[in-house]
Amino acid sequence: MSNSHVKIFDTTLRDGEQAPGCSMTLREKLRVAKALSELNVDIIEAGFPAASPGDFDAVKAIADENRGPIICGLARCNPDDIEKVHAAVKGADSHRIHVFVATSAIHREHKLKMAKEEIIRSAVGAIKMARELCDDVEFSPEDASRTELAYLAEVVTAAIEAGATTVNIPDTVGYTVPHEFHQLFRYLKKHVKNLDAATLSVHCHDDLGMAVANSLAATNAGARQVECTINGIGERAGNCSLEEVVMALKTREEFFGLTTQIDSTRLYPTSRLVAGITGMHVPRNKAIVGENAFAHEAGIHQHGMLQHASTYEIMKPDDVGISKSNLVLGKHSGRHAFRSRVQELGFDLDEFETNRAFQEFKKLADKKKDMFDGDIEAIIMNADGASTGPWILQALQFQSATDETASASVKLIHENGTTNEISATADGPVEAALMGLEKVTGIALTLRNFELRSATAGDDAQGEATVTADFEGESYRGHSASVDIVEAATRAYLEVINRILRRQERGVLKNRQTADVNQASI
Ligand code: KIV
Ligand code: ZN
């Protein structure tokens, strides 16, 4: 591989998924992994197998199913973590074990309570063990950007000597700035004598809003792998955004002299997919994939654009997979056109799912005059949630007026054939409907977050509701869309309840339905 190639290491499913509110189901992770393969990332970090049996299963399923990118799993420097990663990733055509240990004085003293030499011994032992299981081993000195330079060089030298094939330098707390980080990489280039035996990588967090700039500075100083996430999701302020770093390298190729193998036309669909699944919506003004990224409002800009697009446009919407007009299909569109648009949007539905989504599309097209990509995405996300069962919403009625108590009546049918209808009253119709759901299902939740947004433009747009609620110390997310926002909220809440009931059925959770539903804290 040429020295101008920058590997894209995607950690959406590990560092991204770890962020509050971003957890994904196995099915959702598989869908994201497939989209990442189509995007042509070099490496997918699929998870942290030792974190939980669910994480292990997800990494294994991704490794067994995905062909193309290297599948990687994260491990601390201990034999159990390393064995778990190996067992999870070994089914992939190519796989990697990623081991890490913190090296900064702050982490050494306050978190690990380990001396410098102990940390090096632990890293070396872990890397050697991982190399016995796998030829491709990455090592990360966590909090590298706050580690003493001479000690960092010592750790990196020892890691490469022990067999690390990639050495990743994380700015774990998003503390560094581009010029300083560039100097850090130059320092390592100068003082780590065996550095050429490994690929140098960079991993930045966005606490000061500089993750992309810092990653680019590192590539300028010799890094040839960038770790990043779709839409920049990740702990706290997030990670380096994949779409931004890729498009910066592509748009300014003459300046950087570097290339990636990413199919940039898959950036927008992948971004939409991850936003839809995680409920972490992309701000309108977000670079590359935000709704306004290619919109030109000011008259003077529009005039320039009409003369020549390059006056105000440094990238074309097509380059990142945004079609000129995303007004896509209408009520007369056929199943074939629907199916190919669904595929272009990055979804891979089987026959049954396509038919179900197409029927929903037709129903919606009767209600709405214009259908957009966002509508199709909302339908598919809806179908995903609805398929969780066991309760299905059969009817919803509600009443509300200013300064009056609202009421709602929900009618649910269980897959065992039981039908149950209950009414509830509350301050507003959404609250009343959610209380009705709790009464019928016997599951009382603590609502943590409730978001409502419009799926597309227009006054007949669908409302998308995303609900995060807690049950027995764990958070669950539900998502739904409808032209009726009370219905969207009710379906999203029901999705959460269904997920919990399914977990109870599988024995993951105790079947302890909350009797006193009046205690419901919604
Ligand atoms: O931010 C960080 O330091 C990490 C490491 C595990 C690579 O995510
Ligand atoms: Zn990180």
User: What is the predicted pLDDT for the residue at 302?
Assistant: 61
Q: How far apart are CA 185 and CA 179, in angstroms?
A: 10
Cis before 178? omega within 30: no
Nearest bound ligand to the CA of residue 144: 1
**Alpha carbon nearest to ligand 1 atom 2, residue:** 172
Q: What mean pLDDT is reported for the chain?
A: 89
Query: Ligand nearest 235 Cα, by number?
Result: 2
Q: In what order do the strands lie in the sheet with 463-471?
A: 446-454, 463-471, 474-482
- Give residue limits of the domains in the chain: 7-278, 290-321, 323-383, 387-506
* Helix, strand, coil percentages for the chain (3-state, nearest 5): 45, 20, 35
pLDDT at 134 over 60: yes
Strand order in the sheet with 419-426: 391-399, 406-414, 419-426
Task: Give pLDDT tens digits for 308-347.
Answer: 777 878 999 899 988 654 556 777 888 888 888 888 776 7
Instruction: Tell me, in angstroms, the distance from the centre of ligand 2 to residue 15's CA.
Output: 6
pTM for this prediction = 0.81
Helix (H, G, I), strand (E, B) or coil at 150: helix
**Which DSSP letter does residue 111 get?**
I
Are both 7-278 and 387-506 of the same fold? no
Instruction: With a cut of 50, say whether residue 517 has pLDDT above it.
Output: no
Distance 467 CA to ligand 1 centre (A): 29
Pick the CATH number of 387-506 from 3.40.50.720, 3.30.160.270, 3.40.1830.10, 3.90.226.10: 3.30.160.270
Look at the alpha carbons of 51, 475, 481, 418 in this order and tell me if their dihedral is positive or negative: positive
Of the chain, the end-to-end C-alpha distance in Å amounts to 56
Instruction: Provide φ and ψ at 22, rounded to 5°.
Output: -105, 10
Residue 342's nearest CA partner among 298, 309, 373 is 373
Over residues 47-94, the pLDDT tens digits come to: 999 999 999 999 999 999 988 999 999 999 999 999 999 999 999 999
Atom of ligand 1 nearest to the CA of 205: 1
pLDDT at residue 195 tops 90: yes
- 377 Cα: distance to centroid of ligand 2 (angstroms): 29
138 CB within 6 A, ligand 1: no
Is the distance from the beta carbon of residue 172 to the nearest atom of ligand 1 less than 6 Å? yes
Q: What is the topology classification, in CATH, of domain 7-278?
A: TIM Barrel (3.20.20)
CA distance 200 to 202: 7
